[in-house]
C-alpha cells in the first residue's frame, strides 16, 4: 500500500444527519470508521430542514414507509437524550403535536378521507370541527373548517442535533475528514472497495456507506446506480416571540409553519426540480405564504428573519434507498430520504449499523436499491 492510500473497516460518504447517525450507532463497535464530507456537515439538507417529526403528515396511506417513520419517531427521545449527554447540546425536541387543517370544502373533503384511514394508525388522534378549533386555537383563522390533531408528533432543531452528533462523535474513535469529495468507488480483487478522492488520494475500506444526499449520482460508482435527483425546497422564518400557538400546522397544498423555542416561526416549503441550484424566489415563497391568509394571517405581519433553501434527495417512488448494492454487498446505500431525512435519522442509523455488523433485516426490503434494477 502506498503512502496516499489509507485503510478502514467502514467509510461513510456524507456527514449530514443520516451519515452522522450511522456513525453514531457504530461508535462503540470494534470498527475503524471514517466519516467523509465534501463540504460542511449538513450543508445542503440537514441545516435547511424545519425538523418536523410527523409521520402521518408525510404519507398518503399505510405501508412500509409509514411503519418506518413511526418506528423512528419512537426512537427520537432516547436518541436525542444520548446525543445531549455526550455533547452537552440540546436539540430542542418539542412534543408539540401537529395540526393538519382545511380551509375550503374541497380541502375538508380530502382531510376527512385522510382521517378515515389515519384514525387507527396513531395514538390519541382526533378530528376537530370549526367550533372546536375556534375555542382551542383562536390564533387560527375563522376560515379553518376542520383539522386532524396528532398529539404525539413533534419537531426538533435539526442543525443543533447535527452539531450535537458531531460533538459527541469527536469524543469517540470515529475519524472525520471534511472538504473531501469522493469521485470514484471501485471494487478490488480481494473484495475491498477503494474510494478515490478529489485530492488524488485513495481510501480503501472493507465496506462503504453512501450517504451523500442529492449528490449520489455525481460520483462514479459500480453499475447499476439507483436514481436520485435534487429537489430544491425554499423556506423562511419570521420573528414572533409572543406567538401563543405552539403546534406545528400543515396546510394545503404543502405548506407548514413550525413555532420554535427561540421565538422564531419557520414557514415552508416549496418543491422544485431545478438541478443543483439552491435559490429563494418571490414566486416560490408566495406558494406557501399566500395560503396563510386563510390559516394564520398574523404570521404575514411578523418581521421577516431569514430565507434559505436546501436540496432534498428524491427517488422516483419517493422511498429512501436503504441496503446493499445489487452486485456489491459491501457497498451500502442510505440516501434518498426526500422530505424525511431528519425524521428517519435514528432508525436509519440503527438499521444500517446493524446491517454493517452482518444482520439481515427483512423490514428494509421495500427500500432495497435493487428495486430500480
Ordered domains of the chain (ranges, CATH): 5-48+160-227+317-372 (3.50.50.60), 98-151+229-314 (3.30.9.10)
Q: Are 218 and 275 in contact (CB under 8 A)?
A: no
Report the C-alpha gap between 239 and 184 in whole angstroms: 44
Collapsed DSSP state (helix, strand, coil) of residue 200: coil
For residue 32, the model assigns a pLDDT of 96
Strand order in the sheet with 126-129: 126-129, 146-150, 98-102, 248-251, 255-259, 264-268, 229-239, 304-314
Report the C-alpha gap between 155 and 259 in whole angstroms: 9
Contacts (Cβ under 8 Å, ≥6 apart) of 25 = 349, 350, 352, 353
Q: What is the pLDDT of residues 237-278, one digit of tens each?
A: 999 999 999 999 999 988 999 999 999 999 999 988 888 888
Average pLDDT over every residue of 119-137: 94
For 81, half-sphere exposure in the C-beta direction (CA atoms, 13 angstrom radius) is 5
What's the predicted TM-score (pTM) here?
0.95
For residue 275, the model assigns a pLDDT of 82
Q: What is the pLDDT of residues 62-96, one digit of tens each?
A: 999 999 999 999 999 999 999 999 999 999 999 99
Average pLDDT over every residue of 337-351: 97
What confidence tier does 2 reach under pLDDT thresholds 50, 70, 90? low
Checking if the pLDDT of 42 tops 80, the result is no
Amino acid at each position: 500500500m502506498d503512502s496516499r492510500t489509507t485503510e478502514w473497516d467502514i467509510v461513510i460518504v456524507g456527514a449530514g444527519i443520516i451519515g452522522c447517525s450511522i456513525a453514531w450507532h457504530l461508535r462503540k463497535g470494534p470498527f475503524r470508521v471514517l466519516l467523509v464530507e465534501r463540504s460542511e456537515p449538513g450543508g445542503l439538507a440537514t441545516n435547511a430542514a424545519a425538523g418536523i417529526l410527523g409521520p402521518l403528515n408525510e404519507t398518503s396511506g399505510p405501508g412500509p414507509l409509514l411503519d418506518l417513520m413511526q418506528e423512528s419517531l419512537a426512537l427520537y427521545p432516547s436518541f436525542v437524550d444520548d446525543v445531549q449527554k455526550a455533547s452537552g447540546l440540546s436539540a430542542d425536541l418539542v412534543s408539540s403535536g401537529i395540526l393538519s387543517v382545511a380551509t375550503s370544502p374541497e380541502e375538508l373533503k380530502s382531510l376527512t378521507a385522510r382521517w378515515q384511514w389515519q384514525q387507527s394508525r396513531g395514538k390519541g388522534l382526533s378530528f376537530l370541527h370549526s367550533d372546536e378549533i375556534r375555542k382551542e386555537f383562536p390564533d387560527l383563522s375563522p376560515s379553518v373548517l376542520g383539522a386532524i390533531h396528532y398529539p404525539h408528533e413533534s419537531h426538533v432543531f435539526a442543525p443543533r442535533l447535527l452539531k450535537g452528533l458531531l460533538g459527541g462523535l469527536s469524543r469517540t474513535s470515529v475519524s472525520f475528514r471534511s472538504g473531501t469529495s469522493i469521485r470514484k468507488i471501485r471494487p478490488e480483487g480481494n473484495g475491498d472497495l477503494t474510494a478515490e478522492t478529489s485530492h488524488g488520494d485513495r481510501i480503501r475500506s472493507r465496506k462503504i456507506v453512501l450517504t451523500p444526499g442529492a449528490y449520489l449520482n455525481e460520483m462514479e460508482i459500480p453499475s447499476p446506480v439507483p436514481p436520485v435527483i435534487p429537489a430544491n425546497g425554499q423556506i423562511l422564518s419570521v420573528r414572533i416571540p409572543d406567538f401563543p400557538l405552539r403546534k406545528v400546522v400543515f396546510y394545503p397544498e404543502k405548506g407548514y409553519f413550525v413555532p420554535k423555542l427561540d421565538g422564531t416561526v419557520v414557514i415552508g416549503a416549496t418543491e422544485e426540480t431545478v438541478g443543483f441550484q439552491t435559490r429563494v424566489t418571490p414566486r416560490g415563497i408566495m406558494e406557501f405564504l399566500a395560503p396563510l391568509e386563510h390559516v394564520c394571517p398574523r404570521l404575514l405581519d411578523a418581521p421577516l428573519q431569514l430565507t434559505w433553501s436546501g436540496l432534498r434527495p428524491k427517488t422516483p417512488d419517493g422511498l429512501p434507498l436503504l441496503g446493499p448494492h445489487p452486485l456489491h454487498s459491501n457497498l451500502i446505500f442510505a440516501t434518498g430520504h426526500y422530505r424525511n431525512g431528519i425524521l428517519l435519522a435514528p432508525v436509519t442509523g440503527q438499521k444500517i449499523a446493524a446491517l454493517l455488523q452482518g444482520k439481515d433485516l427483512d423490514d428494509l426490503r421495500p427500500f432495497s436499491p435493487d428495486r430500480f434494477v
